[in-house]
Structure 1
Amino acid sequence: MVKKAQTSVRPKRTSTGLPNFVTLVQRYKKAVMGIEVVQSFPTGRGLGPRPLFPWDRSQPRQGRSAMNIGTGFVFHPKGYILTNEHVVSDGDRIMLRVFGKKDLVEAQVVGRDRAHDIAILHADIPIPSPILKIGQSKDVHVGEWVLAIGSPLGLDNTVTVGIVSAKNRPLQIGEREYPNLIQTDAAINRGNSGGPLINLRGEVVGMNTAVSQSSQGIGFAISADVLRKEVDHILKHIH
């Protein structure tokens, strides 16, 4: 059986010589969704320790609930959604804001890896075509263009663009250690966590995870090889 050659999605150049990212955005925007996670607290209880990822945490409502916000993306033909574990941890309800749907859709965590900050969700939603596929770290080069789609501050389908600033950056946040992060200057803000970092070939080269609180133009993403390895491990337990 002859396999059909994969169609390239590399953006054409604009008159200024820069890539035109419209093709990538139009092709993959339906595979990316916003996430709202509600965590309730009994009356009289405090909110506990300060969250490790404060940029994804909204203020509690009347002292009884707190809401995390983030992003997820469909990466598997069965409709599994990838996001950060810190986005959905300790949540009572996980709600998705799906492209083209007016109402929120409830999702369930079907697998997680706290150490590597990875979680897989599933929900009763139409599987977008195409889905986003995870690439390989060896194909990521410092200086290449990358695009981030996410829900910063809850603003769905926000697109930012930048370059890969560095590779293999180590970072520790609370109990988690990230040894091989991709550094990018694409704008990453509260709510971008869990969203895809995409190269010009339409491959996910990283999952946006952290942003520097003390400076601008410095964001971090979990590398593709870490995602592929840990996601495969999680999926084996799901199936």
Structure 2
Amino acid sequence: MKKLSTLILASVIGGAFTLGFYKIALETPQETTSKEATMPTYIPATYTANKPIATAAIEGIDFTNAAEKTVNSVVHVKNRATSEGGSSIYDFFYGRSSKPRVREGSGSGVIISPDGYVITNNHVIEGADELEVTLNNNKSYPATLIGSDPKTDIAVLKIEADTDLQFIAFGDSDNVRVGEWVLAVGNPFNLTSTVTAGIISAKARDLNEFDQQNQSFLQTDAAVNPGNSGGALVNTNGDLIGINTAITSQTGSFVGYSFAVPSNIAKKVVDDLLEYGDVQKGVLGITTLNRNSKEAIEKGLDQVDGVYVSGVEKDSGADKGGLQSGDVIKKIDRVRIRKFADLTGYLNSKRPNETLNVLVDRNGSRKELKVTLSKFDIFEVDFLGMKLRNISAENKEKYEISNGVGVYELKAGSIINNSTDVRPGYILTEINGIKIKSISDIAKLKKKNIQDDLEKITFLNGKLEAERYIFRD
């Protein structure tokens, strides 16, 4: 037993000696490395030494001021539309009448004047029988539709409040810079007074670039969801720089990108609706080559930095100002033009008869031209789902046509598209026996609401043969 105790004691002493030697001989000279997992700290390439690294990048940016200035000026827009209720076979047998159904929708809006003018999206109020605006203090008012423009998706409402309202001033969206901080304010999912932050991700974004639908949006990564439509996009000063309009998503909810109508375009539409009742569109009077078209690719023009002018309308502002086919527009006033959406985005903020400084590249040399915008309906007008344009004097003489306007596009589902054989390339010559010489004649008839008393339209087909269509109630 004594021998066993001695043996155990010797083993313990030997083990301790061995462990101590291992710690001293093998571990002591090496650096100690912590096994605790930590996130790396990234330091900006340029920073102020005596300031906390976490806040150096956003020093001087105060989101709270912008939020406080805007949250009470963004409203909840509710629309109601009544439709006939569906009927079933049971209604027929039991003599029951179907009840009207009330559809409700909602979005956002922005108060832009103390006397109650509100800007929102056209799609927020489209088809509504009743409109209601609820302020951030939960007071609700019936709203009147002043006017709307489906092409820019902008609408103007009016409410009659008891006192002057807090409003947001328009900022200059042309001065917005990519990377600039912005706030989106609105009512997503009926959650009132919601503020999200992000940056401007891109400017002059065209969501239908291949169709050239004259869209030019500000793109941001500030979270925008259903219900935000019509709400405010503001900078850190609280200035209105855009009207939140759309998101790109496969789920219907925000996934990182949203789009806003630039404030310069929105303000111009509002001013036109209040002053004229419709949008006054100014055009240069040129045709352009879509950089994605086969012709552009074959000619090597798909990589052009600017907008390629493929044609100039006779007697247009572009024609009188000296623009020529083959010119590449590089800049208008102070705005750089790199693609079609840059051009249309700037022009959509201008009116007819405004004069612009247009910088073009012509055969490798730069020329600055002064161009006065023409009125849009000098060149094109929409009527009964048709887009109509004037026919040049040369073509009238060539085809021995005394009067008429050309059909160059038909809207799907329109009465002309569904009820006739008319196709792009046809020539509209008479309406209710009235000869049509130019699209200004169409514009005059539209003002008289002739589409409500439509009796007969005459066209020339591709073989220049007359086709008459009679419309009856």
Of 70, 73, 96, the match for 2:107: 70
Identify the match of residue 207 of structure 1 among 234, 239, 243. 243
Amino acid at match of 1:108: T
Amino acid across the alignment from 1:70: G
Superposed displacement of residue 128, structure 1: 2.3
Give the greater-gyration-radius structure (CA). 2
Work out the CA distance in 1 between the residues paired with 2:232 and 2:133: 16
Q: Given the alignment of the two structures, is residue 86 of structure 1 paired with residue 123 of structure 2, yes or no?
A: yes
How many Å apart are 1:134 and its aligned residue? 1.4
| Corresponding residue number in structure 2 for 1:26 | 68
Detail structure 1 runs of 4+ shifted over 6 Å in the superposition.
none
Mapped partners of 1:127, 1:219: distance in 2:
32
Contact 1:108–1:123 under 8 Å retained in 2? yes
Partner of 2:260: 221
SS at match of 2:266: helix
Question: Post-superposition shift, 1:77?
Answer: 3.7
Alignment of structure 1 residues 55-204 onto 2, 5 Å: 64-102=101-139, 104-125=140-161, 126-129=163-166, 131-172=167-208, 177=213, 179-204=215-240
3-state SS in 2 of match to 1:34: strand
Native 8 Å contact 1:171 1:178 kept in 2: no
How many equivalent pairs are there?
204
Aligned counterparts of 1:113 and 1:128: Cα–Cα separation in 2:
25
Cα separation, 1, equivalents of 2:188 and 2:122: 17
Deviation at 1:127, TM superposition (A): 2.9
Deviation at 1:22, TM superposition (A): 1.3
Q: For the residues of structure 1 that align with 2:164 and 2:194, how far apart are their CA atoms?
A: 21
Are the equivalent residues in 1 in contact too, given 2:65–2:237 (CA < 8 A)? no
For the pair 1:233 / 2:272, whether they are aligned, the reply is: yes
Q: Does structure 2 retain, via aligned residues, the 8 Å contact 1:189–1:211?
A: yes
User: Residues of 1 paired with 2:63 and 2:228: CA distance?
Assistant: 19
Which stretches in structure 2 are left out of the alignment for 5+ residues? 1-53, 88-98, 278-473
* Superposition deviation, residue 78 in structure 1: 2.9
Q: Distance in 2 between matches of 1:127 and 1:32?
A: 15
Contact 2:67/2:238, CA 8 A, preserved across alignment:
no
Going from structure 1 to structure 2, the CA distance change for 1:69 and 1:178 (only over 3 Å counts) comes to farther
Mapped to 2, the partners of 1:70 and 1:140 lie a distance apart of: 25
Cα distance in structure 1, aligned partners of 2:207 and 2:197: 22
CA distance in 2 between counterparts of 1:123 and 1:176 reads: 36
* Alignment partners' CA distance in 1, 2:168 and 2:225: 21
Q: CA deviation at 1:28?
A: 2.0
User: Aligned residue for 1:7?
Assistant: none
**TM-score normalised over the length of structure 1:** 0.79
CA positional deviation for 1:210:
0.2
Q: Scaled by the length of structure 2, what TM-score is found?
A: 0.41
Query: For 1:112, what is the secondary structure of its paired residue?
Result: strand
Cα displacement (A) at 1:156? 0.7
Superposed CA RMSD in Å reads 2.2
Higher strand share: 1
SS of alignment partner, residue 134 of structure 1: coil
Structure 2 CA distance for aligned equivalents of residues 185 and 205 of structure 1? 15
Provide the C-alpha distance between the structure 2 equivalents of 1:68 and 1:231, rounded to a whole number of angstroms. Answer: 23
Q: Please tell me whether the aligned partners of residues 84 and 100 of structure 2 are also in contact (alpha carbons under 8 angstroms).
A: no
Once the 2 structures are TM-superposed, how far is the Cα of residue 176 of structure 1 from its aligned partner?
11
List runs of 5+ in structure 1 lacking aligned partners.
Answer: 1-14, 46-61
* Paired AA for residue 97 in structure 1: T
1:228 and 1:34 mapped to 2: Cα distance?
20
In 2: Cα distance, 1:150 partner to 1:80 partner: 17
